[in-house]
Amino acid sequence: MSDFLIAPSILSADFARLGTEVDNVLEAGADVVHFDVMDNHYVPNLTIGPGVCAALRKYGITAPIDVHLMVQPVDDLIRMFIDAGASYITFHPEASGHIDRSLQLIRDGGCKAGLVFNPATGLHYMDHVMDKLDMILLMSVNPGFGGQSFIPGTLDKLREARKRINASGKDIRLEIDGGVKVENIREIAAAGADMFVAGSAIFNTEDYARTIQSMREELAR
Ligand code: DX5
Ligand code: ZN
């Protein structure tokens, strides 16, 4: 695995052929499977739950699964995704009544824990829980749908988050989610991200390997 992780969001995959799609995107060079969970309550859309995560594990997927919870409340689903074979679990701080407890729950289950920041959510939520974070995920679109455009102001926020991570001296991934594509991945990396979710930019292309390779070439430039 390179230091930059590419995490295709299966939200844009063909759900009727999900196992094959995940196989294909991993063979194409993806590092991590990004798994978007929406509840039509925290966000205005409804997707997939722990049963689908468990089914992917049963099918034979061994790559890390990065579960992005866009649900409220969070703790019951955290428990279920731990049992379903998640590797990373992230949630939105506004959706948890007890952020520290939810992070601890994830870590106690043997998963890596992270907080997700919507475009208008302040980074202060990380201040008192740095010790419990393995990842920080910045949304560069408002959550709920794939295929939206990257919000440019996120670049400044990435730089600020990168500063805070570096100042902490901790090994915390900085993930970006929303509107990431070959054309902008380089400037997003330059602003501090080291893990890149891309849904439509990968699954809406014919040749996943070629798209992921183009992203890696941009990252290496
Ligand atoms: C949006 C989801 C994203 C989404 C990204 O709420 O969290 O992971 O699938 O899709 P693209 O890459 O198409 O913006
Ligand atoms: Zn996501």
Point out the ligand 1 atom lying closest to the alpha carbon of residue 199: 12
Whether the CB of 178 sits within 6 Å of ligand 1: yes
10 Å Cβ neighbour count for 207? Answer: 11
Q: What is the model's pLDDT at position 93?
A: 98
Instruction: Give the residue extent of every domain in the chain.
Output: 5-220
- Does pTM top 0.95 for this prediction? yes
10 Å Cβ neighbour count for 24? Answer: 17
Give the ipTM of the model, two decimals please. 0.99
Q: Are 46 and 37 in contact (CB under 8 A)?
A: no
Active site residue 134: no
Q: Are 140 and 193 in contact (CB under 8 A)?
A: no
Whether the CB of 144 sits within 6 Å of ligand 1: yes
What residues pair up with 177 in beta bridges, in sequence order?
139, 197
Residues of the chain with pLDDT under 50: 1
For a mutational test of ligand 1's pocket, the pick from 10, 25, 33, 36, i.e. the residue with the most ligand atoms closer than 8 A to its C-beta, is 36
Distance between CA atoms of 54 and 74, rounded to whole angstroms?
18
Q: Which of 36, 39, 66, 134 is catalytic?
A: 36
For helices 99-108 and 75-83, angle between their N-to-C axes, nearest 10 degrees: 10
Point out the ligand 1 atom lying closest to the alpha carbon of residue 139: 7
CATH superfamily entry for domain 5-220: Aldolase class I (3.20.20.70)
Model confidence pLDDT, tens digit, residues 21-58: 999 999 999 999 999 999 999 999 999 999 999 999 99
Written as one string, the DSSP assignment of 117-184 is E-TTS-GGGGTTTGGG-SEEEEESS-TT-SSPPP-TTHHHHHHHHHHHHHHHT---EEEEESS--TTT
Task: Give kind and range of the element (H or E) at residue 55.
Answer: helix 50-59
Whether the CB of 104 sits within 6 Å of ligand 1: no
Q: What is the model's pLDDT at position 1?
A: 39
The burial of 22, by beta-carbon neighbours within 10 Å (0-12 exposed, 13-18 middle, 19 or more buried), is given as buried
Q: What is the model's pLDDT at position 2?
A: 52
Active site residue 66: no
Look at residues 28, 20, 19 and name the one whose alpha carbon lies nearest to residue 8: 28
